[in-house]
């Protein structure tokens, strides 16, 4: 039984981790941290977990955490993560970091988009980008896995097969992404209030969203040339789910069936990607680790559609998938029959 710790246990990604791990046959959460000194029970922070955990959230140092666990999930905000991760690793555990701090391999790009100097730049080259459908072979041996962003995973999974096979132009790719509100986290802000979000659709951070360089880094790697996307995030009046409608330019004529076959080949043996004939919907992947993908032609314009649950495949589900690989388990363990 692997001993698991969760740093920053009060948010939505921690809640989903705790939910999945409660049913996991080979992992047991032994520690959860918070900055509060009152040592609240996990069920006091997440009432839905009542009866599933008899554990308190404690104000532990990363060193204390790292000594007592095999794998630590770091659910801290960016910049806080890069302070904790080195201490966790030094204490001897392995880390799945859900923040953005170790996702970008170039500290200059990090600084440009996050407006913060990276304080642990040398580790950026050894961290493994934790998208198993792309980097599965590197994850089992990793000590530090950078768990991908939610928009990022969806966009990459929807484009990787087309870029890997040179079927589309690497630039001018338009991504119209639609997300539920939980992606904005559990910290109260006016923009996340029910009465601001309900019955409303809007766009935000056009040209400035921090998942952009992450998408481009991985897709450039997959496509072996510089990929550039116009990433346009939107907020939907729902709790969870991301739906991406992606408009790439084909290099030569193709058909829906040909392209679906390209996707099916690329994702053969990948249990969490479902290449489907029907149109995906966020409802179909809600509370699952699946990414559903299809393609359509609108006259000559290719459109790729992909849907995930932003808290599961976009965060905590893929984190457990990474953990499974790090532990030498079937990646489906605890999430799908295997």
| # residues contacting a copy of itself (CB under 8 A) | 75
Closest C-alpha among 179, 178, 332, 194 to residue 269: 332
We find the least distance from the C-beta atom of residue 120 to a copy of itself, in angstroms, to be: 29
Mask for 101-140, x = binds a copy of itself (CB under 8 A): ----------------------------------------
In the numeric block, which tokens belong to residue 93? 């555990």
In the numeric block, which tokens belong to residue 121? 């730049």
Contact criterion met (CB below 8 Å) for 294 and 246? no
We find the least distance from the C-beta atom of residue 82 to a copy of itself, in angstroms, to be: 26
How far is Cα 73 from Cα 54, in angstroms, rounded to an integer?
19
150 is catalytic: yes
Using the rule CB under 8 A, is 281 a contact of a copy of itself?
Answer: yes
Residues in 178-217 at the binding interface with a copy of itself, rule: CB under 8 A: 178, 180-182, 184, 186, 188-190, 192-204, 206-207
Contacts of 253 (CB under 8 A, 6+ apart): none
We find the least distance from the C-beta atom of residue 306 to a copy of itself, in angstroms, to be: 11
Closest C-alpha among 305, 270, 155, 308 to residue 219: 155
In the numeric block, which tokens belong to residue 201? 């659709």
Residues in 136-155 at the binding interface with a copy of itself, rule: CB under 8 A: none
Beta strand pairing call for 27-33 and 301-308:
unpaired
Among 54, 125, 269, 298, binds a copy of itself (CB under 8 A): 298
In the numeric block, which tokens belong to residue 322? 């990474």
Residues in 19-78 at the binding interface with a copy of itself, rule: CB under 8 A: 22-23, 47-48, 50-52
How far is Cα 128 from Cα 210, in angstroms, rounded to an integer?
19
| Radius of gyration of the chain, Cα coordinates, nearest whole angstrom | 19
Among 135, 151, 263, 290, binds a copy of itself (CB under 8 A): 290
**Residue tagged active-site, from 150, 197, 244, 291:** 150
How far is Cα 5 from Cα 3, in angstroms, rounded to an integer?
7
Stretch that binds a copy of itself, among 75-83, 96-104, 112-120, 229-237 (CB under 8 A): 229-237
We find the least distance from the C-beta atom of residue 317 to a copy of itself, in angstroms, to be: 14
Among 86, 120, 237, 327, binds a copy of itself (CB under 8 A): 237
Contact criterion met (CB below 8 Å) for 176 and 324? no
The residue among 62 and 271 lying less far from a copy of itself, judged by its C-beta, is 271
Q: Active-site positions?
A: 150
């Amino acid at each position: 039984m692997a001993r698991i710790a969760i740093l920053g246990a009060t948010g939505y990604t921690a809640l989903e981790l705790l939910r999945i791990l409660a049913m996991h046959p080979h992992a047991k959460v032994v520690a959860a941290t918070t900055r509060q000194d009152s040592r609240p029970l996990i069920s006091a922070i997440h009432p839905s977990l009542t009866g599933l955990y008899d554990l308190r959230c404690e104000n532990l140092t990363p060193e204390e955490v790292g000594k007592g666990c095999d794998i630590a999930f770091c659910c801290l905000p960016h910049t806080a993560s890069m302070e904790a991760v080195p201490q966790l690793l030094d204490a001897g555990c392995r880390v799945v970091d859900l923040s953005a701090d170790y996702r970008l391999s170039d500290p200059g790009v990090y600084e440009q988009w996050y407006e913060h100097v990276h304080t642990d730049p040398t580790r950026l080259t050894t961290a493994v980008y934790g998208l198993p459908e792309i980097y599965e072979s590197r994850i089992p041996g990793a000590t530090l896995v950078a768990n991908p962003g939610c928009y990022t995973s969806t966009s990459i999974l929807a484009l990787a097969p087309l870029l890997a096979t040179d079927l589309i132009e690497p630039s001018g790719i338009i991504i119209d992404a639609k997300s539920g509100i939980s992606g904005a986290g559990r910290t109260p802000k006016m923009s996340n209030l029910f009465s601001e979000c309900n019955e409303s659709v809007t766009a935000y951070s056009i040209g400035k969203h921090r998942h952009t360089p992450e998408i481009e880094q991985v897709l450039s790697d997959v496509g072996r040339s510089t990929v550039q996307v116009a990433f346009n995030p939107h907020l939907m009046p729902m709790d969870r789910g991301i739906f991406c409608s992606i408009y790439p330019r084909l290099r030569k004529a193709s058909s829906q069936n040909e392209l679906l076959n390209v996707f099916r080949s690329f994702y053969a043996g990948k249990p969490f990607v479902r290449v489907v004939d029907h149109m995906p919907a966020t409802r179909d992947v809600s509370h699952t680790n699946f990414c559903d993908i299809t393609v359509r032609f609108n006259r000559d314009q290719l459109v790729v559609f992909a849907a995930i649950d932003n808290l599961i495949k976009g965060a905590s589900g893929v984190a457990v998938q990474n953990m499974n690989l790090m532990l030498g388990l079937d990646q489906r363990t605890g999430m799908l029959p295997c």
